[in-house]
């Protein structure tokens, strides 16, 4: 694997850890190996690994490498339990745009994870049942002892999960309204912005930040502006990703384009 372009990790603000790679492939290999090492370490002690997973373009190569490690190097996921960040609402799990379909296509169909250990928010439940469902999703995470590792991307609004501008630090799993820019960015997948759902179920900021390890991925110049705000801007609900700044257990893994506007 190519060494990161900046190594050891750069410090931006107090405890913030940043790794910048020449390209997203090498960055993804690093993150996948970090996840694999955690699974192996906990497995050697007979413990389960509780992973929080993300969707979108950013984690795809991470998942490709985890599949390769499973198929070629014997990495087992039988003792792994996963909780995905979010899902569009309403959304049937069989739909191509669902995050169930995304996760199956990019990861779950290619590894030996037990189906009962996979948790993805259900975008098909009745509206009146959502509050109770979200409370149970939180309880399921708590019953596992919390998340060992949370993988994140970042939206151009600064969202993590689907926690859009205005999300509170104390927020937990809930139904939210999607920002107009978020829906615009998803329009190609749906064949037009007007077909993108206006709501989603998402883990909250509190849920995410309670994970024992957090890695946020960002690739390409399209993310450079929001990465700069997230890492160097003031902590504010207007850019929910800034909530991560005060945490000692967060690492930002970027390619050179996404990091191009950072100054510190």
- Judge whether 150 and 237 are in contact, CB under 8 Å: no
Provide the domain limits for residue 73. 6-255
Instruction: Quote the pLDDT of residue 8.
Output: 34
Q: Looking at residue 159, what is its pLDDT?
A: 98
Q: What is the model's pLDDT at position 16?
A: 73
Is residue 29 in a domain?
yes
Residue 106 lies in a domain: yes
Residues with a known catalytic role: 164
In contact, 78 and 111? CB cutoff 8 Å: no
Q: For residues 30 and 62, what is the distance between their CA atoms, to the nearest angstrom?
A: 8
The low-confidence residues of the chain, meaning pLDDT below 70, are 1-15
Number of domains in the chain: 1
- The residues, ordered by sequence, that sit 6+ positions from 163 with a Cβ below 8 Å of its Cβ are 171, 176, 202, 203, 204, 205, 208, 240
* pTM score, whole prediction: 0.94
User: Looking at the domain assignment, is residue 264 inside a domain?
Assistant: no
What is the reported pLDDT for 246?
A: 86
On whether residue 262 sits in a domain, the answer given is: no
Decide if 21 is inside a domain.
Answer: yes
The Cα–Cα gap between 111 and 88 comes to 25
pLDDT of residue 15: 54
- Which domain CATH number covers 104? 3.40.50.1360
């Amino acid at each position: 694997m190519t060494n990161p372009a900046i190594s050891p990790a750069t410090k931006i603000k107090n405890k913030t850890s940043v790794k910048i790679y020449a390209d997203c492939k090498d960055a993804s290999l690093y993150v996948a190996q970090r996840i694999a090492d955690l699974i192996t370490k906990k497995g050697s002690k007979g413990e389960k690994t509780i992973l929080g997973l993300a969707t979108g373009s950013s984690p795809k190569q991470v998942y490709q490498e985890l599949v390769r490690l499973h198929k070629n190097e014997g990495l087992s996921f039988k003792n792994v339990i996963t909780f995905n960040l979010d899902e569009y609402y309403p959304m049937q799990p069989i739909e191509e745009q669902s995050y169930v379909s995304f996760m199956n296509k990019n990861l779950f169909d290619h590894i030996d994870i037990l189906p009962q250990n996979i948790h993805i928010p259900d975008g098909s439940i009745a509206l009146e049942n959502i509050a109770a469902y979200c409370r149970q999703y939180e309880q399921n995470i708590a019953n596992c002892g919390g998340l060992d590792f949370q993988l994140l991307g970042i939206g151009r609004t600064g969202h993590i999960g689907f926690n859009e501008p205005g999300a509170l630090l104390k927020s937990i799993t809930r139904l939210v309204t999607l920002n107009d820019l978020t829906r615009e960015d998803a329009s190609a997948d749906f064949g037009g912005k007007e077909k993108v759902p206006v709501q989603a179920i998402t883990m909250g900021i509190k849920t995410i930040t309670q994970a024992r390890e957090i890695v946020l991925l960002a690739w390409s110049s399209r993310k450079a502006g929001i990465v700069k705000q997230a890492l160097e801007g003031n902590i504010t609900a207007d850019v929910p990703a800034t909530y991560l700044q005060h945490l000692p257990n967060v690492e930002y893994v970027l390619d050179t384009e996404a990091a191009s506007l950072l100054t510190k």
